[in-house]
Structure 1
Amino acid sequence: MFFNWPLYWFDPKMLLILIILMLLTKGLLPAIHNEAFFILALVTIFLSLYLPLFQIVLFYFISFGLFRLMKVI
C-alpha cells in the first residue's frame, strides 16, 4: 500500500456501511459539490481507523449538516 496501511486495518463492515451512506447521500442530493464531499468522505474513512462506527456516523452527518448550513456543499 502507498501509505503502508494494510487494508485489513479497516473494518470491512464499517467501510461497507460508510460507503452505502455516502452513496445514498450523493444519490439523494446530486447537486452537491464534489470537492467538499470528497474531502468529507476521505476524512470520514480515515477516522474509521481510530473511532467506533457510531462516532463516525455522527461526525459524517453533523459535518454534512454544517456544510449544508454554511452552503459549502
Structure 2
Amino acid sequence: MKRESLEKSFRSFALFGSFGFMMAASILVGYFIGSYLDNKLGTAPWFLLVCLLLSVIGAFIEFFKTVSRYNKRAKNAG
C-alpha cells in the first residue's frame, strides 16, 4: 500500500516538474525564433512578443491536456 502511494506521489511530481521544463523550453524556443525573425525582418520587438505569447499559450494548452490525461488514468485506476 505504501509503495503505491509513493509511486503515485512520484508520478504527480514528475507531471508538475515536466510543466516547468516545458514552459522554460517553449519560452526559449519562442524567444530565439522571435529574435531571429525580428533581426531578419527589422520588426523588433513584434515577432519576439508574438512568438513568446504563442509559446506560453501552447505550453499551457499542453499542460492542461497532460493533466486531463493524468486525471482520467487516476480515475480509471482508482
Could you tell me the TM-score, scaled by structure 2's length?
0.35
State the structure with bigger RCO (CA 8 A, min sep 6), 1 or 2.
1
TM-score scaled to structure 1, two decimals? 0.36
Larger helix percent? 2
Structure number with bigger Rg: 2
